Structure 1
Amino acid sequence: MQHPGFFERAGPFSLRSIADCVEADLANPGDATRMISDVRSLQDAGPDDLTFLDNRKYASQLASTKAAACLVVSSAADQVPIGTVAFITRAPYRSFAKALAMFYPGSLRPKRVAPPAEGVAGYVHPTAALCNDVEIEQGAVVGAGASIGAGTTIASGAVIGERVRIGSDCQIGACASIGHAIIGDRVIVHPGVRIGQDGFGFAMSAQGHIKVPQIGCVVIGDDVEIGANTTIDRGSLMNTVIGEGTKIDNLVQIGHNVVIGRHCVIVAQSGIAGSAQLGDFVVMGGHSGVVGHVKIGDGAQIAGMAHVKDNVPPGARMGGTPARPFKEWAREIAAIRRLSQKGFKPEEK
C-alpha cells in the first residue's frame, strides 16, 4: 500500500496565484490559468508539478524534465523544454521555498507529537502566565513564573524552566529544555535542544578546578530557528545572545557569553567558544569552530571544517586550520597537491 506521506498538501493552485506568492513572472502570460498540483524535483516532476533549476550542474535534468512549470533565472529560460512553462525569477531556490510553503504550510514547523487531551495535558505551575491559544502537549512542564505568548506550542516532554519568557507563535519541540532564557516571537526550537544550562566555566589550578557560578541568561531574538540537539549555554556575568533571524543547524554548541548577530547561519556540528562575537549575516560551514574571545565581522564566511583563532574582518572568506583567507588556503592546498604529484620526498637526515 502506498504511504500517504507525512504532510497535507494544499492546492491545486493556478500559475498566476503561485506567481503572486513566489515573486516570479510567466514567460508566456497565456499560461496563467494552468493548474499546478504539487512541487517536485526536476527528475521526479510530472505534468502537473512545479520544479526549479538553481544549479547549472542539473541542466541535463532540466532538458529532460516533464514538469508543468520550472522556476529559472531569465538567462536559462531558453533551456526550458517544450511543454514546460518557464517561470522567471531572480532567485529560483528562494521562490521554490515559497512555493513549498504554499503547498505544504504544515511543514514549516515540527509536527505535533501528542495533541492535548482533556485532563491529561502537561503540568503548568499555578504562577505561570499563559496567553491565549497556548498549547501544552502531554508530558510537557512549565515552571513557576514562566510566561508564554499567544499561539505558542510546547511539545510533549519539553521543560520550560522557572521565569523563562517565550514570545508569541513559537514552537518548542519535543523533549527540549529551556531555562534562564528570554525568547522572542516566531522562534522554532527543534526536539532535544538545550538552552540556558550552565556555561563551561571553572577556575583551574593545581589544587583542583572550582566551578564558577553562571548567573547570566540566554536572549534569543525574533524569527530564530534552532536545530535538533543544539546546546546554548547561558552567560556567566553577561548574557549569551542570538540575534533575530539567525538560523542554527543541528548539533551546534554555543558557549557562554557568545554574541551572535542578526541573520547568521551556523551549520551542523559547529562550535563557538565562550565570549566570541559574530556580526550580522555571518556564515559558518559545517564542523567549523571559533575559539573564545575573538570577533568575526559582518558578512564573513567561515568554510566547513575551518577553525578561527584570530579576529576576522567584515566580508572575509576564511578556510583551513588555523583559518586564513580563503584564497591563501586554497593556494596552499594546490601547492601541496602539486608536490605530491611530483613525488616529493622529505630530505633525509
Structure 2
Amino acid sequence: MPDASFFPRGDGLTVSDIVALTGAELGASTAPGIRLTGIGPLDRAGPEDLSFFDSPRYATQLPETRAGCVVVARKHVALVPKGLPHLVAANASVVFAAVGRRLFPAALVPAAVSAGVGVSPRAEVDPTAQIEEDVTIEAFAVVGRGVKIGRGTIVSHGAVIAAGCMIGRDCRIGAQVVVSNALLGNRVILHPGVKIGQDGFGYVPGRAGLDKVVQIGRVIIQDDVEIGANATIDRGAIRDTVIGEGTKIDNQVQIGHNVAVGRHSVIVAQVGISGSTTVGDGVMIGGQTGVNGHVTIGDGAQLAALSGVAGDVPKGARWGGIPARPVREWLREVRFLTDLAKKGRSPRNERDD
C-alpha cells in the first residue's frame, strides 16, 4: 500500500540533531548518526521513524518495534531491550512532540485548500473591508463591511466574517467558520465549523412566556489561541467574553456569554461552561465537564473528565466527580460506595427477575 500521509517527509534529523534540539541524552550504544524522517507509534514505526515509550502498558511492544530510535522516559530505561537505539528524557512526550514539530512544520497550522495567495474571484468581500497584503480569502467566503484582516491570514471556503470584526495576522479561519461581534489577535486558529460571537442564551419569564435578553457584548480572542472544530463561543451580554492568550480549546466545546478564560488554559472536548464564569490561567478542564454559571475556577486548577462544577474551585486544586470536589475525597467516596455495594450483595438480590 502506498504512503497515504498528507504530510510528506523531508530530509529529517539525525539523532545528534535531536539531542541538540531537545536536550535528550544519547542511549547506550546508540549511534548519533542515525537519520530519522518521520514519527510513529511503537507498533507501526519503521527504520526511519522516531517513536516514544513512556508507559509500561506498552512494554511488550518494545522488543518488537522496528523504529529507528525510541525516546524513553528516564524512569523506564531498564525496560529497553539491548541493542534498541534510544534517547533518554525526563519527559518522553515533550521530546517526541518537539521532533514532530521540526519534521512536519506543515502540520502545525491548517493550510489553504486552493493554491495561491489573494482573494478568490468567487469570494464576496465588501469594498469597505481592509485587507492587508499576503491574505488568502478562498472561494465562497464572505467578508462583511468594515472588516479588518491582517497579513498572512487565511480565510477558508465558506467562512463568514461579519461586519466590523477584526482578524489579526497569521490567523487560520477554517471552512464554514462564522465570526461575528469579535476581535481576534494574531496567530489565532479556528478549525472548521467554529462559531464565534452569536448571542448567548438569555431569557426572563414574562407575561406571555419567555422574553429575550439582548446580548450586546463582544468576543475577544487573544494571541495564539486555538479553537477546535464545531466549538461555539457566545458574545457577552453586557460585558465581553474573553479567551486569554495561548489557550487551547478542543472540539465541540460550548462557552457561554460573559465567560472569561485566562491564559494558557486547556479545555477538552464537549466541555460546557455557563455564562459569567471566570476561568483562571493555566487551568485544565477534562472532557465532558459541565461548569455552572457565575463560578470562579482558580489559576492552575485541574478538573477531571465528566465532572460537574457547581461552585468555586480554589487555585491549584485537583477536583473531580459530580458535584466536583477534591480528587482524594471523591475517590475515597467512590471506594466506600463500591465496598458498601459489595457487602450488600447476596444471591437473592443479585438474581435477575
Task: Give the TM-score taking structure 1 as reference length.
Answer: 0.93
Query: Are the aligned partners of 2:72 and 2:87 in contact in 1 as well (CA < 8 Å)?
Result: yes
Unpaired runs of 5+ residues, structure 1, are none
Query: Are the aligned partners of 1:63 and 1:79 in contact in 2 as well (CA < 8 Å)?
Result: no
Equivalent runs, 1:275-286 vs 2, <5 Å = 275-286=276-287
Equivalent runs, 1:5-20 vs 2, <5 Å = 5-20=5-20
SS of 2:237 mapped into structure 1:
coil
Q: Name the counterpart of 1:38.
A: 38
Structure 1 stretches of at least 4 aligned residues deviating more than 6 Å after TM superposition: none
Deviations 1:245-284 (A, max 9, x none): 1110111100000000111111111100000001111111
Deviations 1:72-105 (A, max 9, x none): 2333334322332221222211211121122222
Question: Which amino acid letter does the alignment assign opposite residue 252 of structure 1?
Answer: V
SS of 1:169 mapped into structure 2:
coil
Q: Name the counterpart of 1:74.
A: 74
Query: Does 1:92 pair with 2:92?
Result: yes
Question: Which amino acid letter does the alignment assign opposite residue 46 of structure 1?
Answer: G
Distance in 2 (alpha carbons) for counterparts of 1:205 and 1:133: 51
Question: Which amino acid letter does the alignment assign opposite residue 72 of structure 1?
Answer: V
Q: Name the counterpart of 1:183.
A: 184
Measured at CA, do residues 46 and 81 of structure 1 come closer, stay the same or move farther in structure 2, by a change above 3 Å?
A: farther
Query: Are the aligned partners of 2:119 and 2:136 in contact in 1 as well (CA < 8 Å)?
Result: no
Distance in 1 (alpha carbons) for counterparts of 2:174 and 2:23: 31
Task: Give the TM-score taking structure 2 as reference length.
Answer: 0.92
Equivalent runs, 1:216-235 vs 2, <5 Å = 216-235=217-236
Distance in 2 (alpha carbons) for counterparts of 1:18 and 1:204: 62
Q: Name the counterpart of 1:272.
A: 273
Measured at CA, do residues 148 and 119 of structure 1 come closer, stay the same or move farther in structure 2, by a change above 3 Å?
A: closer
What's the CA shift for 1:329?
1.2
Measured at CA, do residues 156 and 119 of structure 1 come closer, stay the same or move farther in structure 2, by a change above 3 Å?
A: closer
What's the CA shift for 1:118?
8.0
Query: Are the aligned partners of 1:113 and 1:174 in contact in 2 as well (CA < 8 Å)?
Result: no
Paired residues, number: 345
Equivalent runs, 1:57-68 vs 2, <5 Å = 57-68=57-68
Query: Are the aligned partners of 1:199 and 1:256 in contact in 2 as well (CA < 8 Å)?
Result: yes
SS of 1:76 mapped into structure 2:
helix
SS of 2:200 mapped into structure 1:
coil
Q: Name the counterpart of 1:120.
A: 121
Question: Among the aligned pairs, what percent are the same residue?
Answer: 47
Q: Name the counterpart of 1:54.
A: 54
What's the CA shift for 1:122?
1.5
Query: Are the aligned partners of 1:115 and 1:137 in contact in 2 as well (CA < 8 Å)?
Result: no
Query: Are the aligned partners of 2:120 and 2:139 in contact in 1 as well (CA < 8 Å)?
Result: no
Equivalent runs, 1:306-345 vs 2, <5 Å = 306-343=307-344
Range that drifts further, 29-38 or 224-233:
29-38
Range that drifts further, 61-70 or 26-35:
26-35
Measured at CA, do residues 278 and 43 of structure 1 come closer, stay the same or move farther in structure 2, by a change above 3 Å?
A: same
Distance in 1 (alpha carbons) for counterparts of 2:294 and 2:101: 39
